[in-house]
C-alpha cells in the first residue's frame, strides 16, 4: 500500500470513528433525557366519523391538527418515530347529529369529550391542547351518485409506416362518481390525463384526471381506464369489380354506363384493407350535376371508408354514359 493510499485509509477510519462517536452521543443523550418530562407539538390525524350514508362532505376536513402533548422524553421520541403507523393515535370528530353546517371549536370539544382524543395507553402521553386549527367548519350536502362518460384527450401518433385504424376504444366508456350534490351536479364528464404517444401498437391503462380541489370529496367507481387503438402497418391493395351507380336521374330517361365496374388501389392498415370488398366503395356519377348534352365520358366520384388513408389509380378514370328516352 502506498503512502497516499495509507493516508486516505486512515482518514476514512478517523471519519468513521468520529461519526460513530456522534451517533453514540445522540443515543446517550436520548437515554439520559428520556426519563425527563417534556411537552411537544405533534401532528395528529383527524378522523371525522359517523357521517350519515345520505350525506357527503361539501368541504374538505383537515387531515391533521397540531396538538401539544406532554410525557417522558422516551415516549415523545417513540411517538415522533411511529405516529404515522399507529391506527389508534388520532383526534375524533363525531358527525352523528350534524345535518348541514357546524363549527367544532376543538379545545372546547375535547375538553367536553376527552375520550375522543385517542392515544395508546402504552405511550404514557397526556393531551394538553390543540394548537392549530382552533376550529373546524363542517359543511355537508346530500350524497349523490351520477354516471358520467369517460373522455380520453390522447394524441396518438403512429410510428412511420403505420396508421390508425378505427376509433379509439375506451373501457369502461362510463363510470360512476359520487359525492356532494353541489359538486356532482356540475360534473358533465370525466377525463383521462392528457398525453401524446408515438407507437406501433397501442394498448394501455391511463389514470383519470382528478380535480385537486375536489379530490377528497368525490368518489370514483374506478380511476384507471383501459385504452385501445388499433394501429396497423400501411399497405396497399387493388380492389376490382366495383359497381358504378348513376344517381339523381331525371324522369323518363334511361342510362347506360360503360363499363359497369371499375378498379382502384386502396392504401391503409394492412388488416383493414384486407377486409374491404367492392360494395364498401361508392363510385357514382351524379347525372343532375354532371351531365352535359353532347358529352359522352364522365369522371365518377369515389368515396371510400373513413379509415382508409387514400385511394388511387382508378381504372378506367372516365366512363361512357349513354342517355336515351324511356319509350314506355
**Partners of residue 66 on adjacent β-strands:** 43, 132
Instruction: Please check whether the domain covering 142-233 is classified as CATH 2.170.120.40.
Output: yes
Give the pLDDT confidence score for residue 12 in this predicted structure.
Answer: 45
Q: Phi/psi at 63 (nearest 5 deg)?
A: -75, -30
Tell me which DSSP letter residue 216 carries: T
In this prediction the pTM is: 0.66
Give the pLDDT confidence score for residue 196 in this predicted structure.
Answer: 79
**Nearest-angstrom CA–CA distance, 115 and 112:** 9
For residue 112, give the 3-state DSSP assignment: helix
Q: Report which of 325, 304, 328, 326 is spatially closest to residue 314, judged by C-alpha positions.
A: 304
Q: Where are the domains of the chain?
A: 34-133, 142-233, 235-325
Give the pLDDT confidence score for residue 229 in this predicted structure.
Answer: 87
Handedness of CA 259, 265, 271, 272 (dihedral sign): negative
Give the pLDDT confidence score for residue 278 in this predicted structure.
Answer: 96
Domains 34-133 and 142-233 agree in fold? yes
Please provide the size of the chain in residues: 328
We find that the CATH architecture of domain 34-133 is: Beta Complex (2.170)
HSE at residue 279, side-chain half, CA atoms within 13 A, is 0
Contacts of residue 312, Cβ cutoff 8 Å, sequence gap at least 6: 264, 265, 267
Give the pLDDT confidence score for residue 9 in this predicted structure.
Answer: 43
From first to last of its 328 residues, the chain has per-residue pLDDT tens of: 454 544 544 454 554 556 555 555 565 455 445 667 888 899 999 999 999 999 999 988 999 999 999 988 888 888 888 777 777 899 999 998 888 899 999 999 999 999 999 998 888 889 999 999 999 999 999 999 999 999 988 888 888 889 988 888 898 999 999 999 999 999 999 988 888 776 666 677 778 777 666 677 899 999 888 888 888 999 999 999 999 999 999 888 888 999 999 999 999 999 999 999 999 999 999 999 999 988 999 999 999 999 899 999 999 999 999 988 765 5
CA R_g for the chain: 38
Contacts of residue 219, Cβ cutoff 8 Å, sequence gap at least 6: 177, 178, 179
Q: What is the dihedral of CA 200, 201, 204, 210, to 10 degrees?
A: 50
We find that the CATH architecture of domain 235-325 is: Beta Complex (2.170)
**Grid cell digits, residue 190:** 370525466
Cβ count within 10 A of residue 119: 21
Peptide bond into 232 cis (omega under 30): no
Amino acid at each position: 500500500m502506498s503512502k497516499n493510499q495509507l493516508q486516505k485509509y486512515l482518514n476514512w477510519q478517523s471519519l468513521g470513528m468520529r461519526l460513530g462517536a456522534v451517533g453514540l452521543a445522540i443515543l446517550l443523550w436520548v437515554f439520559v433525557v428520556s426519563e425527563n418530562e417534556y411537552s411537544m407539538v405533534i401532528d395528529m390525524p383527524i378522523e371525522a366519523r359517523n357521517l350519515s350514508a345520505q350525506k357527503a362532505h361539501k368541504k374538505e376536513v383537515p387531515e391533521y391538527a397540531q396538538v401539544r402533548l406532554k410525557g417522558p422524553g422516551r415516549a415523545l421520541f417513540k411517538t415522533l418515530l411511529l405516529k404515522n403507523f399507529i391506527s389508534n393515535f388520532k383526534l375524533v370528530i363525531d358527525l352523528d347529529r350534524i345535518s348541514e353546517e357546524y363549527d367544532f371549536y376543538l379545545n372546547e370539544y375535547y375538553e367536553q369529550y376527552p375520550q375522543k382524543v385517542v392515544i395508546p395507553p402504552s405511550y404514557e402521553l397526556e393531551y394538553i391542547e390543540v394548537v392549530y386549527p382552533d376550529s373546524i367548519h363542517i359543511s355537508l350536502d346530500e350524497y349523490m351518485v351520477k354516471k358520467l362518460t369517460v373522455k380520453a384527450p390522447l394524441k396518438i401518433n403512429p410510428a412511420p409506416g403505420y396508421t390508425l385504424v378505427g376509433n379509439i376504444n375506451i373501457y369502461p366508456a362510463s363510470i360512476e362518481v359520487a359525492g356532494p350534490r353541489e359538486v356532482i351536479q356540475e360534473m358533465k364528464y370525466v377525463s383521462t390525463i392528457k398525453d401524446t404517444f408515438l407507437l406501433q401498437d397501442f394498448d394501455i391503462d391511463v389514470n383519470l384526471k382528478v380535480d385537486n380541489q375536489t379530490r377528497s370529496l368525490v368518489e370514483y367507481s374506478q380511476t384507471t381506464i383501459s385504452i385501445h387503438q388499433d394501429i396497423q402497418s400501411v399497405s396497399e391493395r387493388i380492389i376490382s369489380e366495383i359497381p358504378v351507380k348513376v344517381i339523381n336521374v331525371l324522369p323518363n330517361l334511361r342510362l347506360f354506363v360503360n363499363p359497369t365496374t371499375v378498379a382502384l388501389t386502396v392504401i391503409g392498415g394492412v388488416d383493414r384493407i384486407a377486409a374491404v370488398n367492392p360494395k364498401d366503395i361508392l363510385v357514382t356519377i351524379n347525372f343532375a350535376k354532371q351531365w352535359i348534352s353532347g358529352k359522352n365520358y364522365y369522371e365518377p366520384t369515389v368515396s371510400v371508408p373513413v379509415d382508409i388513408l387514400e385511394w388511387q389509380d382508378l381504372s378506367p378514370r372516365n366512363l361512357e354514359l349513354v342517355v336515351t328516352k324511356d319509350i314506355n
